[in-house]
Structure 1
Amino acid sequence: MVMRRILLALAVGCAAAEDGLNAWLRYAPLPCSLSRHHSLPESIIALNSTTTSPVYSAGQELHKGLLGIFGKNLTVSTSLPSGKPPSKAVVVGTVAAFGKSSGVGHDVASALEPDGFWLEVKGSMVTIVGQNERGALYGAFQYLSLLARADFSDVAFVSNPAAPVRWTNEWDNLDGSIEHQYGGPGIWFQGGHVVDDLTRAGQYARLLSSVGINAVIVNNVNADANILTDANMQGLGRLADAFRPYGVQLGIALNFASPQSIGGLSTFDPLDPGVIQFWTDITDKLYQHVPDLAGYLVKANSEGQPGPLTYNRTLADGANLFARPLQAHGGVLMFRAFVYNNNLNESDWKADRANAAVQFFDGLDGKFEENVVVQVKYGPIDFQVREPTSPLFAHLSRTNAAIELEVAQEYLGQQCHLVYLAPLWKTVLDFDLRVDGRPSLVRDIVTGRRFKRPLGGFAGVANVGTHPTWLGSHLATANLYAFGRLAWDPSQTAEGLLDEWVVLTFGHDRHLRSTLSQMALESWPMYENYTGNLGIQTLTDILYTHYGPNPASMDNNGWGQWTRADAHGIGMDRTVSNGTGFAGQYPPEVAAMYESLHTVPDELLLWFHHVPYTQRLRTTGETVIQHFYNAHYAGAETAATFPARWASLRGKVDSDRYDAVLRRLIYQAGHAIVWRDAINEFYRNKSSIEDERGRVGHHPWRVEAEDMTLAGGYSVVDVTPFETASGFRAVVATKNGSAATATTTLRFPDGTYDLVVGYFDQANGRSRWAAYLNDKLVGSWVGDGEDWLSHEHSTHLDGHSATRVRFPGVKVRKGDVLRVEGTPDGGEMAPLDYVALLPDGVID
């Protein structure tokens, strides 16, 4: 009955619609109960009249915010009357613009670091002083955030960023596509050039500025050398113009082989004088178009990309090639540490992709130019659901380092699944590497504090697109918000940042805040449970879409994301004593913890050790295989609660966002069961060990499609991978455009059930299905997930296309006849997996 109420709620409207474009910058009117305040400013003074200035933008933003939150339409001026602030105004500007007569003390000015700000609120008098222009804008956003969260406290504080590098990486291609395109096509490239209309680019810069992001790499790390054509340099200049009012700088990714591919040279050897001159000239020319260019990002010698190793040069030689011409302009070179061999031999027990970063950078610490920042992925593999901290952070004491986090959920549900990532990021940022036996938190290493480095910080792969929500989902913007706020201050808590985002994005209602916050905080552990746990990674399909389950794809390939699963055991032996030696890349205290089965954390057991399926966990006493079964059921059970919990917020969220989120949570609950069944069936088959609770492979409320009476062209097919179909098989139609049917006589007791149909929604058609009970229509649906789901879609019957539809509250009598009718479209032949009749409270 709960699910019936949920589904009916999809058709019911509530508050005024919102499309998500403003994300957390909605400036929604405060509820009357919260808007009672003693006083507010009566005017706005922004101490710069240049319309492209961030201080000017701060004035406009303050006007917009105060109008939206309180309905106060204040005047905006650009100079102090008589050189002194009036008593009831918000004044924003730089230290220099305020001048000595403004009352900004020496203590405040000296405490401010680049991009920092001072915010003082005394009733209706508000002073916002930035060390520079964008610092002033950051302070204005902070003041508005306080007001939007109904915080009217008098305050006086300095806020400085933890690190100078706070960048996003956008993997946009010049044709308008994006690598891992979950939020729609790109917003600044199309047809090989920068688009004419850069409105969305400016809106994005505004969002980023509000959380302290100061630069954007606008193109794919797998860079197209044509980014450097004259036409594209001019376009980049226009794009930088769109960013500049918000204090956001533009940077670009470079293709290492550009001197050869577009420069007419026979080489791209980083020590060749002609190559050096090529990059010097290119850099000078770029700065003519973009005078405040942030710098470059380079991915070299990884996944087929060119680099210095081609010429037996070092990675430092390659990085310095770009860093030196940037120095004259104040630019930064971000050099990705994502360097590895993707043709490893799994039969070699010592082979390990995780070792690559430290091995490739061994001996190079201190050999990079001072404006080089080595950009290190948070873990040693590839943005997995859980990884140990990359040990490379402990090896760069004389080199600037930044941490690379992924806002786009490449291996983590691709924005179709709710997965709040800040708790995952915090496990790495707060990890103590114990370098030289001293406290060495990762967050202190990347901010430069631990080793007293001048540069460092954060790079977030965001991949925003033209979808109104930017990332493809209303809930996914929590990750973009958290990334920016953690880049400013990585000591903040995931819980605190989440509450801020909920209030700013959805409102103040207490039930809404607690419900959505709790769901989001449960989401990462839940996803880890129903995908892959104990450090075995997500078990997704690494050879295809990186979305649905395919555990076999982890092994027998050259990519090195192996599980080494066989009939007897599972896990990578990364010990020094018997395995790949990866554990020994950590400082001694950490290495010793990971080396021993007696001290390695259970959540990373299979990352560091190959063990039998019967190995018992230290914390719970479960065997590894039973933990797999239990965790996958627990994760799916939690996901099943999310639609009802969100439905309890009906009327507290505008109808468009309410419906869009509910639809995705219902989908996630179904796909969590696809994951649960696929992983459990695969490892039951692999290990030949049964679930001691008798759940795996036993579905008493299901009827397999292949066991139904088939007509009109439906025929039985095997599904590959086998574990992604219930009973390992499905039925597909053989005649395009004409309906096929699958019929069964129900043997369940009389009662009210939820009818669930498992089917495959492929990307090469939009089939139609209808379910009839005794020839009476129960419900119909279309396989149109490619139109509204953001993941990379599949044309196959597999764990990516497998999904479910549910019709609640169906009254059934024993002996009733259920018929499912499927009409193919295109290459999608109306595939069916099973039907299930679920009593109230049964998840399946």
Structure 2
Amino acid sequence: MLGVMWLAIACLASTLYMPAASAEDGYELWLRYRPAGDAHVDAYRMRASRLVAAAATPTQAATRAELLRGLEGLLGAPPPLSEAAAEGAVIVGTPSASPLIARLGLETGDLGREGYLIRSAVIDGHAVTVIAANEDIGALYGAFHFLRLLQTGQSIERLDLREAPRVKLRVLNHWDNLDGHVERGYAGASIWDWHKLPDWRDPRYTDYARANASIGINGTVLNNVNADALVLTPMYLEKAAALADVFRPFGVRVYLSARFSAPIEIGGLETADPLDPQVRRWWRDKADEIYRTIPDFGGFLVKANSEGQPGPQDYGRSHADGANMLAEALAPHGGTVMWRAFVYSDEEPDDRAKQAYNEFVPLDGEFRDNVLVQVKNGAIDFQPREPFHPLFGAMPDTPLMMEFQITKEYLGFATHLVYLGPMYEEVLAADTYAAGEGSTVAKVVDGSLHGYAVTGMAGVANIGADRNWSGSHFDQANWYAYGRLAWDPRLSSRSIAEEWVRMTFAGDDAFVATVVDMMMGSREAAVDYMTPLGLHHLMGRDHHYGPGPWVEGGPRADWTSVYYHRATRAGIGFDRTASGSNAVAQYAPPVAREFGDLETVPEAFLLWFHHVPWDYRTQSGRPLWEELVHRYTRGVDYVRGMRETWNGLEGDIDAERHAQVAAFLAIQEKEAQWWRDASIAYFQSISGLPLPDGYAPPPRSLQYYQSLEFPHAPGSGR
């Protein structure tokens, strides 16, 4: 048995330690490990001339392999392996596995199981760099951090770094279906080949785990929240177990989306009532079965009583009843329930934005300790801009888990360059005032505000089978930014972008500054050409591709655009003040006063909270109608500027990636112009106002824009 284990470790190490591929097709993500610049390479070679790293466990083997791979790529040759301290050696491991690290007596108690320190030290008269942690996974995270220092051209002299994640569960949510379709995915089919699993374990799965570990992501939900109960059957559990085996050395645990009606659909019961003893027993038995197959299974993600999904309310029970039933089944094994708060009533509400708050706040304190309520960043649905969700800060006795969307369902899919780091940062920095000034969303999520024992952040993955993983090269930055902010929600989105550009493209300072500036303004530009001044949910029906401010009718009013913008000849905007739906009252009083007053509401949220006349005077001095036209046009102009900037960088990076980004920016400019023209044509038909001087009219009629259909737009829900 021992021989088999050693063989497995050796195979893992040999699989991981392969020379970097030469093709610049985006597959390597931010782990390209290209040669360090002349200004750094000699200094790096002096301080990374040897490697002391054990390989007695799969995670240790992965750590050693990554350092060998990275240092060879960056410095031109792999460092010799050593067991003793030597001048310039990099020593990585834990005190229990490394006698050299144990001799240093480092203070690691506050690092937990995933934290690490990177420190310059002297052992036996030799200057060395130590990467130390309490457990192997922390050492792996530290190794990636050390390589990031080299990739970004930073000094590795006199290092003294201490890092530990501020959020415990840092999870990707894959909206992948068992048939290979990815809901709201724009990077091709699912990367999980369920048909070939468990026997064929694609090497891409290992690279997926490496990429996630490099940014601290420690969990993945394999299947869509609109779940298929079959994923809980023995056949699929065996397939999930194979993926878990691949991911385990990299600290990535597997989770599954559970369909609430599974006891009926695959269990043969007549009910899924969470208070029924037979149902509770079925889930306990199912959990036992899962953990026999996947011993470190993370738990369940559940979408219930939302958009037609079954749930506890079907039986007159609460969300807490449903979540606690599953939590009870998972608790003996250390599993977690992530219960989504994206819910809205079957009946037409007065304001869909209020639904989650109304359903969940009365349940505060009723959830078991191993339940996290997973809350989208805003109260509607991943819009280009939303105010932070009012649930954050409103449930002090229930851990709330942030849910961001990495895939750009409402932001132009993979072809629009929209860096989401500023959006994530904007939401995390928002002040809830739940416990006075400074009660930011980040402090809710990381548990420091309310003292949550379990914390989490989820990102809806943008990963698919496309060679470059995310459909476009720049969408890789959103995966990267999510992981870095899940590790530490206080980080700057600009500094994250700078890291990513240096590792992904090139390290020249002028190039980096140019590209980062372009990225940092890209989200605001998308807001301008799609949903300026707090407008929201104006996309085409179902597929959410392109403009559709005229969308009306159908089974639900709150699935239409006119429900949200409420434009008439008199004005535009959704009145959420006390004179309207009063959704503003769901925020803490200081926030409610700010949002509810036309004098103080941030202009970015003006039409989110207020219905105002077309001649309302905006902060620029322009009437609202003219300001809308100005912003729509400004968004297009920014995209045009990005195209010009990127074209000017030809030759600064490889031709293959430059050409694809250039082509996608051309698509983005065309579609931004379409958004601008269609939106202006529609709202002009409502307002009856002329275009302000100097602004070009839409080149086509409103009827033309309304006639466009896209029945096969990628990523649609089904």
- Per the normalisation by structure 2, the TM-score is 0.92
Q: Distance in 2 between matches of 1:124 and 1:296?
A: 47
- Among 551, 564, 567, which residue is 2:566 paired with? 564
Q: 2:76: which partner in 1?
A: 71
Q: 1:591: which partner in 2?
A: 592
Query: CA 1:88 to 1:671, structure 2 compared with 1: closer, same or farther past 3 Å?
Result: same
- Among 257, 262, 269, which residue is 2:273 paired with? 269
Q: For residues 324-373 of structure 1, give each alpha carbon's deviation from its aligned partner in whole angstroms, at most 9, with x where no partner exists.
A: 1211111111111111125526xxxxx00000111011321111111111
Q: 2:137: which partner in 1?
A: 134
Q: 1:545: which partner in 2?
A: 543
Q: CA deviation at 1:554?
A: 6.4
Q: 1:575: which partner in 2?
A: 577
CA contact (8 A) 1:48 1:55 kept: yes
Tell which structure's C-alpha radius of gyration is larger: 1
Q: Distance in 2 between matches of 1:124 and 1:420?
A: 41
Q: 1:21: which partner in 2?
A: 27
1:169 is aligned to 2:173: yes
AA at the equivalent of 1:25: L
Q: For residues 251-293 of structure 1, give each alpha carbon's deviation from its aligned partner in whole angstroms, at most 9, with x where no partner exists.
A: 1110000001110100000111111111111111111111111
Q: CA deviation at 1:586?
A: 0.6
Q: 2:703: which partner in 1?
A: 722
Query: CA 1:698 to 1:370, structure 2 compared with 1: closer, same or farther past 3 Å?
Result: closer
The 5 Å alignment of 1:336-735 reads: 336-341=340-345, 343-344=347-348, 351-537=350-536, 539-541=538-540, 543-553=541-551, 557-559=556-558, 562-576=564-578, 578-617=579-618, 619-693=619-693, 695-697=695-697, 722=703, 724=705
Q: CA deviation at 1:511?
A: 2.9
Q: What residue ranges of structure 2 are gaps of 5+ in the alignment? A: 1-20
The 5 Å alignment of 1:669-818 reads: 669-693=669-693, 695-697=695-697, 722=703, 724=705
Q: CA deviation at 1:31?
A: 2.6
Q: 1:284: which partner in 2?
A: 288
SS, match of residue 600 in structure 1: coil
AA at the equivalent of 2:548: N
Q: CA deviation at 1:16?
A: 6.7
1:324 is aligned to 2:328: yes
- Among 143, 146, 149, which residue is 1:143 paired with? 146
Query: CA 1:104 to 1:166, structure 2 compared with 1: closer, same or farther past 3 Å?
Result: farther
Q: CA deviation at 1:595?
A: 1.3
Q: CA deviation at 1:100?
A: 8.6
Q: CA deviation at 1:101?
A: 6.9
SS, match of residue 393 in structure 2: helix
SS, match of residue 135 in structure 1: helix
- Among 59, 67, 75, which residue is 2:64 paired with? 59
Q: 1:251: which partner in 2?
A: 255
CA contact (8 A) 1:555 1:562 kept: no
AA at the equivalent of 2:603: D
Query: CA 1:326 to 1:16, structure 2 compared with 1: closer, same or farther past 3 Å?
Result: closer
AA at the equivalent of 2:79: L
SS, match of residue 391 in structure 1: coil
CA contact (8 A) 2:36 2:151 kept: yes
Q: 1:227: which partner in 2?
A: 231
AA at the equivalent of 2:180: G
Q: CA deviation at 1:596?
A: 1.1
CA contact (8 A) 2:416 2:665 kept: yes
Q: 2:10: which partner in 1?
A: none
Q: 1:778: which partner in 2?
A: none
Q: For residues 426-468 of structure 1, give each alpha carbon's deviation from its aligned partner in whole angstroms, at most 9, with x where no partner exists.
A: 1110011111434311000011110011011210001411101
CA contact (8 A) 2:542 2:716 kept: no
Q: CA deviation at 1:295?
A: 1.2
AA at the equivalent of 2:525: M
Query: CA 1:695 to 1:165, structure 2 compared with 1: closer, same or farther past 3 Å?
Result: same
CA contact (8 A) 1:92 1:128 kept: yes
Between the two proteins, the alignment pairs up a number of residues equal to 687
CA contact (8 A) 1:182 1:792 kept: no
Q: CA deviation at 1:210?
A: 0.1
1:35 is aligned to 2:47: no
CA contact (8 A) 1:416 1:791 kept: no
Q: Distance in 1 between matches of 2:645 and 2:437?
A: 45
Query: CA 1:792 to 1:469, structure 2 compared with 1: closer, same or farther past 3 Å?
Result: farther
AA at the equivalent of 2:650: R
Q: Distance in 2 between matches of 1:47 and 1:341?
A: 55
Query: CA 1:626 to 1:486, structure 2 compared with 1: closer, same or farther past 3 Å?
Result: same
Deviates more, 1:97-106 or 1:382-391: 97-106
AA at the equivalent of 2:152: R
Q: Distance in 1 between matches of 2:127 and 2:287?
A: 48
Deviates more, 1:16-25 or 1:664-673: 16-25
AA at the equivalent of 1:205: A
Q: Distance in 2 between matches of 1:223 and 1:73?
A: 45
Q: Distance in 1 between matches of 2:331 and 2:451?
A: 20
Query: CA 1:111 to 1:554, structure 2 compared with 1: closer, same or farther past 3 Å?
Result: farther
**Between Structure 1 and Structure 2, which shows a larger proportion of helix residues?**
2
Query: CA 1:184 to 1:495, structure 2 compared with 1: closer, same or farther past 3 Å?
Result: same
**Between Structure 1 and Structure 2, which shows a larger proportion of strand residues?**
1
Q: For residues 108-160 of structure 1, give each alpha carbon's deviation from its aligned partner in whole angstroms, at most 9, with x where no partner exists.
A: 22221231111113596121112222111000000000011121332112101
CA contact (8 A) 1:48 1:56 kept: yes
SS, match of residue 368 in structure 1: coil
Query: CA 1:398 to 1:428, structure 2 compared with 1: closer, same or farther past 3 Å?
Result: same
Q: 2:5: which partner in 1?
A: none
Query: CA 1:463 to 1:281, structure 2 compared with 1: closer, same or farther past 3 Å?
Result: farther
SS, match of residue 576 in structure 2: coil
Q: What residue ranges of structure 1 are gaps of 5+ in the alignment? A: 1-14, 346-350, 705-718, 730-759, 765-785, 794-844
AA at the equivalent of 1:59: R
SS, match of residue 559 in structure 1: helix
Q: CA deviation at 1:723?
A: 5.5
SS, match of residue 120 in structure 2: strand
Q: CA deviation at 1:245?
A: 1.7
Q: Distance in 2 between matches of 1:761 and 1:649?
A: 36
- Per the normalisation by structure 1, the TM-score is 0.78
Q: Percent identity?
A: 38
CA contact (8 A) 2:86 2:127 kept: no
Q: Distance in 1 between matches of 2:91 and 2:70?
A: 15
AA at the equivalent of 1:724: Y
Q: CA deviation at 1:94?
A: 2.4
Q: Distance in 1 between matches of 2:42 and 2:622?
A: 55
CA contact (8 A) 1:211 1:485 kept: yes
Q: Distance in 2 between matches of 1:612 and 1:297?
A: 43
CA contact (8 A) 2:572 2:607 kept: yes
Deviates more, 1:146-155 or 1:415-424: 146-155
Q: Distance in 1 between matches of 2:198 and 2:430?
A: 41
AA at the equivalent of 1:175: D
Q: For residues 560-591 of structure 1, give each alpha carbon's deviation from its aligned partner in whole angstroms, at most 9, with x where no partner exists.
A: 66111122211111112x11110000111111
Q: Distance in 2 between matches of 1:170 and 1:42?
A: 40
Q: CA deviation at 1:195?
A: 7.4
Q: Distance in 2 between matches of 1:231 and 1:206?
A: 26
Q: Distance in 1 between matches of 2:288 and 2:22?
A: 50
Q: 2:53: which partner in 1?
A: 46
SS, match of residue 664 in structure 2: helix
Q: CA deviation at 1:99?
A: 5.3
